[in-house]
Amino acid sequence: MKVTRTIPEIRSLTSEWKREGERIALVPTMGFFHEGHLALMRKGRELADRVVVSLFVNPTQFGPNEDFEQYPRDFERDLALAEGAGVDVLFSPEPNEMYPPGHSTAVEVEGLTNGLCGASRPGHFRGVATVVAKLFNIVAPDIAIFGEKDFQQLQVIRRFTKDLDFPVEIVGHPIVREEDGLAMSSRNSYLSPEERRSATCLFRALQKARDMASQGPVSAAGLKEALEKEILATPHTRIDYIFAGDPETLEEQDEVGRGSLVALAVWVGKTRLIDNAIL
Ligand code: PAF
């Protein structure tokens, strides 16, 4: 596996592959790999001839009081894991390479970013959309693979890819979970053992939503109340949001049933976790 740090280096590799007619998959990441990331890389291996993984803790998607500095990093371990997953190139630029002095352009997706994580993390999706658009221009992949845990992120990326005519196929990959149902996330490493036990309340709440809607549509208000009870009965938890609505428009629905999206953001101690399910 090659490691590249600069835009000209990765461009020269991918343009060579393109000349040879090879199909390229991009897996954008912020590193600290877990089984969820590795599943995206393996999917890339399955769908394309070449797999590029970008590893960049993108400063512009973190708010001023968020965890950019503390975000977990372990470059050597990540290298070994990516290599084991059959990745061809790991592109790991420095912030200056991505945002040289004078950088002043951003991608802003309207509407879809108003609610859910967009409401609690102002500017977050502007940072995500901008860096992902840059990665699409730098790597020129045929496909790009993202986890469905960040469901709103996936919809935002699908939207700007279409709106800005990027010739990239966006592939969503199902959430990879721990044995007890907790969705895998680099941020799970922040949890104390006791908080880690509490963190399963997100999955339990989603199971409850599935049970409640299994016989037909139910009131969104009733469903949210039941989920809130389930979560708040668990120590160390504070709810950021519970969303129940349309997975395409990300608008709330009064009644939810088959095909609706239930998405959660819950603080467990000082760690903010997200999870979701399509009913
Ligand atoms: O999901 C992530 O890890 C990040 O938001 C992404 C897509 C790599 C952009 O920085």
Q: Closest Cα to atom 1, ligand 1: which residue?
A: 29
Q: Is 141 in the pocket of ligand 1 (CB under 6 A)?
A: no
Query: Of these residues, 37, 124, 173, 236, which one is catalytic?
Result: 37
pLDDT digits (tens, 9 = 90+) for 240-262: 999 999 999 999 999 999 999 99
Flag whether 179 is in a domain: no
Flag whether 178 is in a domain: no
Cα separation, 69 vs 48, in Å, equals 34
Burial class (CB in 10 A: 0-12, 13-18, 19+), 104: exposed
Note the pLDDT of residue 208: 98
Give the pairing of strands 271-278 and 261-268: antiparallel
Active site (annotated) includes residue 37 = yes
Residue 196 sits in the same domain as residue 143: no
Flag whether 196 is in a domain: yes
Q: What is the CATH number of the domain that holds 29?
A: 3.40.50.620
Give the pairing of strands 2-4 and 89-91: parallel
| Cα-to-centroid distance, 233 and ligand 1 (Å) | 31
Q: Which of 26, 27, 30, when mutated, tests ligand 1's pocket best, judged by the most ligand atoms within 8 Å of its CB?
A: 30
Flag whether 118 is in a domain: yes
Q: How much is the average pLDDT of 254-276?
A: 98
Residue 39 sits in the same domain as residue 163: yes
Flag whether 142 is in a domain: yes
pLDDT digits (tens, 9 = 90+) for 72-100: 999 999 999 999 999 999 999 999 999 99
CA atoms within 13 A on the CB side of 119: 11
Question: Residue 39 belongs to what domain range?
Answer: 2-173
Residue 197 sits in the same domain as residue 236: yes
Residue 18 sits in the same domain as residue 150: yes
Q: What is the largest CA-CA distance in the chain?
A: 58
- Total of domains in the chain: 2
User: Which atom of ligand 1 sits closest to the CA of residue 57?
Assistant: 10
